Amino acid sequence: MGMKNSRLQGFYQLNPFERLQMVKSFDGLNEEDLHKLHGGQGTLSIERADKMIET
Query: Which burial class, exposed, middle or buried, applies to 23 when counting CB atoms under 10 A from its CB (0-12, 13-18, 19+)?
Result: middle
**How many residues in the chain?**
55
Rg of the chain in Å (alpha carbons): 12
Task: Render pLDDT for 2-51 as a digit per residue (tens, 0 to 9).
Answer: 566 667 788 888 888 888 888 888 888 888 888 777 766 666 777 777 77
Tell me the torsion sign for CA atoms 45, 21, 7, 5.
positive
Q: What is the pTM of this model?
A: 0.59
